[in-house]
Amino acid sequence: MAVENCLDELPITTLKGVGSKVAEKLGRLGIVSVGDILFHLPFRYEDRSEVVSIGALKPGDSCLFEGQVELAEVVFRGRRSMLVRLSDGTGFITLRFFHFSNSQKQAMKRGQWMRCFGDIKAYNKAGGAEVVHPEYSFISEQQRGQIDEGLLAVYPVTEGLNQTSFRKLIKQVFVMLQQGAHVCECLPQHALKKGQYLPLLDSLQELHYPQSMPPSDVSHIPAFQRLIFEELLANHLSLSLIKKGVKKQAAPSFNTEGTVLLQFLKTLEFDLTGAQQRVVEEITSDLRKASPMQRLLQGDVGSGKTVVAACAALTAIEAGYQVALMAPTELLAEQHYKNFQEWLSGLDIHVTCLLGRHKGKVYTAITGDIQLGKTNMIIGTQSLFQEKVSFAKLGLIIIDEQHRFGVQQRLALRGKGVNNDTCPHQLVMTATPIPRTLAMLGYADLDLSTIDELPPGRTPVTTTVLPVSKREKIIQRISQGVADGRQVYWVCTLIEESEVLQCQAAEVAAELLTECLPELNIGLVHGRMKAEEKQAVMDQFKQKSLNILVATTVIEVGVDVPNASLMIIENAERLGLAQLHQLRGRVGRGQRDSHCVLMYKSPLSNNANERLSVMRETTDGFKIAEKDMQLRGAGELLGKRQAGFMRFKVADIVRDAELLGSVSDCADRLLLEHEELVEPLVHRWVANSVEYVQV
């Protein structure tokens, strides 16, 4: 077929009636090419295939009906409106207009026939129906019942572009298709042949011009399923392309003896678990290759990812390269800094931490050492890559708690640290396990390693759910716990992102606890404190000079104080499962049995009730993730600020979860056998990501 006939490549202005103004409006809907307009799907349908007699109209229906004007009057009850009484011999109905002109009123003379379409509402006790602002036309008595419309698609449109003009554009495109134009069929023959999916044109025809009234939820009809599959496939492929692109780049290969690593493991106060050993091997084998590692290390809270990160870092450092570790919060960066200093100081390795508070001379000294290669390991937050820090010889980037960053940010980091055409290896770690199917899609550019075992001696945390009215009992329990040698977290949460309110709530809670438990040492950390202040309080808690740490969700990630074994979470009903699981992961890190109390305010919504029950029933992060996906939707799970990627037009990862397995298979096969389809497919559905595809 001639290329010039390919609608995917034809600018929208080729259509009759589309000048630059209309093109701009269509652009707002994401429609740029003629092909795009076909993928702008109706969100509902109207049945105009038959005229319903007025006596048979039911409230809730959207129907076509015809009738003769009996009376048109302007009334002032409440709001000025024109009421038109229409009858067809089987019953009567009232049309109500709030906006009307005199000429409109005059045209609705007694005896005039009208054809109307609108949503039927019941409006009075007698059951008389009415329609507000129906579409209408005047007909002669002879024209009654002579309709030429059938099912009509209703599209999401934008200001200045109405249904009628949009429908005309669609019509034009279908005429072009009949005359030999085409859109790219991006599904491979094998998927179509098995009869699994409808050919593209059949699908589009069915969705724009259905033969019979589609169900109100179209997601399960074959025509729609085909498009869902296509969109998921396109998203998967866009990440696969990135992966392929990165693999083609050069990376330093760390062919080390592993002596430093061995030395480190000898000094470590515990042995790695089997799972940790396995993932360390997976990682070091990647690091030996001359193409960049892109690996996701997944492991539940407390499974011991940090020490695995240290092993990876040592491999790079032994080979003479620098390592950058990026944490989502300064608190966590600082904690990592302490750990790595302690672990690596005996090995003659220079570790540094670059934080927001480092200014002036200190900043210059730190970044100077990094640039000169005096520093081997650099720990910080995102600012590590935002500021103009230049690395002498960056070989490995480690991103901790990557779910905090989101797909887009992760990809944006790809270009960083590229030096002399070699690209650093990347290890991303996430504590929030996500369901396997979702991981296959959202992390299709990464290889996956999983720590599926907790360090020995851990007992699962027992969780209780209590209403806020039991506060006194809870405080008593804290008192007993502390007498027992426990340390306690009291977590204040608010759903609003308002940091100020959250900190205030924490201050109030700390005061209340001090009043109730005057003999105990109570500390407070919140987001509005300076980093040094926060760190000082954390240190006191870690050194056991505080019994209770009142905190906001700043302690959600990474904080590791094994002796803390009781946690109270206020307003637990307001938090999502992933966040609750993360928070609860702060306890259960030591040898002692640990407890978590989820405090809630009644009444609980069904969804909140379910979340709290899940928390009570399981501590398994993978199970919680599955449930979280069902309750909350998938977009959230893949990262907080999703843009571009994983924002779907037709697919819904939760609803369409069962397709994800075959999407991944089909993507692999497409890359091998039909590479020519990949680009058009990605372009059609994920145009935004093109810049990343060309890594």
Is the CB of 424 or the CB of 558 nearer to Mg ion? 558
Is the CB of 303 or the CB of 449 nearer to ligand ADP? 303
Collapsed DSSP state (helix, strand, coil) of residue 490: strand
Is the CB of 558 or the CB of 680 nearer to Mg ion? 558
Torsion of CA 241, 243, 248, 251, to 10 degrees: 160
User: Which residues, at least 6 apart from 188, have a Cβ–Cβ distance to it below 8 Å?
Assistant: 666, 669, 670, 673, 674, 677
Query: Least Å distance between CB 306 and ligand ADP?
Result: 3
Is the CB of 233 or the CB of 538 nearer to ligand ADP? 538
Phi, psi of 42 (to 5 degrees): -65, 150
The answer to whether the beta carbons of residues 200 and 187 sit under 8 Å apart is yes
395 part of the interface to Mg ion, by CB under 5 A: no
The size of the interface with Mg ion (CB under 5 A), counted in residues, is 1
Is the CB of 398 or the CB of 444 nearer to Mg ion? 398
Is the CB of 303 or the CB of 422 nearer to Mg ion? 303
Neighbours of 250 (CB within 10 A): 13
Q: Which partner from the list ligand ADP, Mg ion, none does 40 bind, CB cut-off 5 to 8 Å by kind?
A: none
- Can you list the alpha helix ranges (DSSP code H) found in 422-498? 436-442, 471-483
Kindly indicate which of the ranges 303-311, 403-411, 533-541, 654-662 contains the residues binding ligand ADP, using the contact rule CB under 6 A. 303-311
Q: Which of 560, 610, 636, 652 binds ligand ADP (CB under 6 A)?
A: 560
298 part of the interface to ligand ADP, by CB under 6 A: no
> Residue 569: enclosing H or E segment and its boundaries?
strand 564-569
Q: Cis (ω within 30 of 0) for the bond into 603?
A: yes
The answer to whether the beta carbons of residues 413 and 294 sit under 8 Å apart is no
Collapsed DSSP state (helix, strand, coil) of residue 157: coil
Retrieve residue 298's tokens.
Answer: 């997944």
Is the CB of 67 or the CB of 558 nearer to Mg ion? 558
303 part of the interface to ligand ADP, by CB under 6 A: yes
Query: Least Å distance between CB 359 and Mg ion?
Result: 28
341 part of the interface to ligand ADP, by CB under 6 A: no
Query: Least Å distance between CB 269 and ligand ADP?
Result: 8
Query: Least Å distance between CB 187 and ligand ADP?
Result: 41
273 part of the interface to ligand ADP, by CB under 6 A: yes
558 part of the interface to Mg ion, by CB under 5 A: yes
Is the CB of 138 or the CB of 270 nearer to ligand ADP? 270
Q: Can you give 1-43 as a three-state secondary structure string?
A: CCHHHEHHHCEHHHCCCCCHHHHHHHHHCCCCEHHHHHCCCCC
The answer to whether the beta carbons of residues 68 and 87 sit under 8 Å apart is yes
Determine the Cα–Cα distance for residues 63 and 386; give it in Å rounded to an integer.
Answer: 58
Is the CB of 155 or the CB of 340 nearer to ligand ADP? 340
Query: Least Å distance between CB 361 and ligand ADP?
Result: 33
452 part of the interface to ligand ADP, by CB under 6 A: no
Query: Least Å distance between CB 38 and ligand ADP?
Result: 47
Q: Which partner from the list Mg ion, ligand ADP, none does 299 bind, CB cut-off 5 to 8 Å by kind?
A: ligand ADP
Phi, psi of 422 (to 5 degrees): -105, 145
Query: Least Å distance between CB 406 and Mg ion?
Result: 18
299 part of the interface to ligand ADP, by CB under 6 A: yes
Collapsed DSSP state (helix, strand, coil) of residue 234: helix
Binding mask 515-554 vs Mg ion (x if CB under 5 A, - otherwise)?
----------------------------------------
Q: Pick from 262, 639, 270: which is nearest to 454 by CA? A: 270
Residue 355 CA: distances (Å) to CA of 245, 531, 668: 32, 9, 42
Query: Least Å distance between CB 496 and Mg ion?
Result: 27
Q: Which of 118, 292, 304, 417 binds ligand ADP (CB under 6 A)?
A: 304
Q: Which residues are paired to 51 by β-bridges?
A: 64
Query: Least Å distance between CB 620 and ligand ADP?
Result: 14
Determine the Cα–Cα distance for residues 175 and 37; give it in Å rounded to an integer.
Answer: 13
- As a whole number of angstroms, the longest Cα–Cα distance in the chain is 100
562 part of the interface to ligand ADP, by CB under 6 A: yes
**Residue 498 DSSP one-character state:** -
Residue 378 CA: distances (Å) to CA of 251, 326, 343, 425: 19, 9, 14, 15
Q: Pick from 265, 140, 154, 132: which is nearest to 213 by CA? A: 154
Q: Which of 6, 272, 392, 608 binds ligand ADP (CB under 6 A)?
A: 272
322 part of the interface to ligand ADP, by CB under 6 A: no
Query: Least Å distance between CB 132 and Mg ion?
Result: 57
270 part of the interface to ligand ADP, by CB under 6 A: yes
Q: Which of 94, 203, 256, 276 binds ligand ADP (CB under 6 A)?
A: 276
DSSP string covering 553-591, please?
GGGSSS---TTEEEEEETTGGGS-HHHHHHHHTTSS-SS
424 part of the interface to ligand ADP, by CB under 6 A: no
306 part of the interface to ligand ADP, by CB under 6 A: yes
User: For binding to ligand ADP (CB under 6 A), which residues are involved?
Assistant: 270, 272-273, 276, 299, 301-307, 431, 455, 560, 562, 589
User: For binding to Mg ion (CB under 5 A), which residues are involved?
Assistant: 558
